[in-house]
Amino acid sequence: MVIHKRTRLTPLQRKEIYRRYYQESCRLTDLAREYHVSRPTIYKIIQRGRDRDFSIHNSTNKRYRCVKHGLKRLAKIERALEEQRKRQAKRYNKDYPGQMLHGDTKRLPVIQGQSSLDRHEYLFVALDDFSRELYAAILPNKTQYAAKQFLEQVLDECPYTIEQYYTDNGKEYKGDPEHHAFMLLCQDHHIEQRFTKVRNPKTNGKAERVLKTIMHMWHQKTKFNSSAHRQTELKRFVNYYNTVKPHKSIGNMTPLEKLLEYFYPEDL
């Protein structure tokens, strides 16, 4: 038997206390004084002795057990509250369409049947911060000229003025302002460029999130026959994303509904 170092009475002493209490009619006070323990301890020994239990129990008192259990329970509650607060966290949204577009690029896997030596294509995306309207295109590379081509497509399709374009510090978006094709196009259309902190892509979280959504809801669930087929399916998905899929961040509306609410309010 393992006995902790702070125990006052061995099992034999406990058995002797029980015997003397019942057979010799010793008083509780005398037993407590003789064995140098408190009267509540003698009460416990006698009570457990009725069940022939003279073993040494844990010395942890009830108050400590309650605190210990309470701390564990509180930790679980705090984790649950933390997750709830994250879900209820107020997302920041810009005040009007075009105030800021979030842009990003992702290298796409080769299509099934293609060789691993074939060139990868790149997915360019731009997301309006206010309405969550999505623009996307697949281009053969991620150079500054490909980024320029994508922005020209966005400018051609976008019905509102773009004021800011927020991206990471990739070479397709950032370089010599006097010679960089993408930066020159931004300057020509008076689009202010904003960049994430270096090596901190999470500050462009909205673009990162929409890329994950596209890959999960579209690319991983669609079997493509060719690059042209993938281009066509991307257009279908973008149409679904903008006109059918509701978004929690904008009150469970679609981007189209959000834009209609802004440009054509019901009170007009």
Q: What whole-number distance in Å separates Cα of residue 266 and Cα of residue 268?
A: 6
- Does residue 145 fall inside a structural domain? yes
- Does residue 92 fall inside a structural domain? no
What CATH number should be reported for the domain holding residue 219? 3.30.420.10
In this prediction the pTM is: 0.66
Residues 55 and 121 in one domain: no
Of 80, 115, 143, the last residue of a domain is 80
Q: Which residues of 28-42 are buried (b: 16+ CB within 10 A; e: fewer)?
A: eeebbeebebeeebb
Residues 39 and 143 in one domain: no
What CATH number should be reported for the domain holding residue 48? 1.10.10
Residue 209's domain comprises: 101-263
Residues 177 and 232 in one domain: yes
Residues 118 and 232 in one domain: yes
Per-residue pLDDT 10s for the chain (268 aa) are 555 566 778 888 888 888 888 888 888 888 888 888 888 888 888 888 888 888 877 655 565 556 555 666 666 666 777 677 666 655 678 899 999 999 999 999 988 877 777 889 999 999 999 999 999 999 999 999 999 999 999 999 999 999 999 999 999 999 999 999 999 999 999 999 999 988 776 778 899 999 999 999 999 988 999 999 999 999 999 999 999 999 988 989 999 999 999 998 875 4
The residues pairing with 253 across neighbouring beta strands, listed in sequence order, are 247
Q: How far is CA 191 from the centre of its chain?
A: 31
- Does residue 233 fall inside a structural domain? yes
Q: Which of 154, 185, 163 is nearest to 172 (CA)?
A: 185
Residues 39 and 133 in one domain: no
DSSP for 51-71, please give it: TT--SPPP---HHHHHHHHHH
Residues 19 and 139 in one domain: no
- Does residue 199 fall inside a structural domain? yes
Residues 120 and 232 in one domain: yes
Residues 213 and 122 in one domain: yes
Residues 206 and 112 in one domain: yes
- Does residue 94 fall inside a structural domain? no
What is the identity of the amino acid at 87? Answer: R
Domain count across the chain = 2
Residues 24 and 125 in one domain: no
- Does residue 170 fall inside a structural domain? yes
Of 26, 50, 80, the last residue of a domain is 80
Of 48, 80, 112, the last residue of a domain is 80
**Residue pLDDT, tens place only, 18-44:** 888 888 888 888 888 888 888 888 888
- Does residue 86 fall inside a structural domain? no
Could you tell me the two tokens for 154?
């966005």
Residues 150 and 237 in one domain: yes
- Does residue 43 fall inside a structural domain? yes
Residues 133 and 255 in one domain: yes
Q: Which of 8, 12, 53 is nearest to 34 (CA)?
A: 8
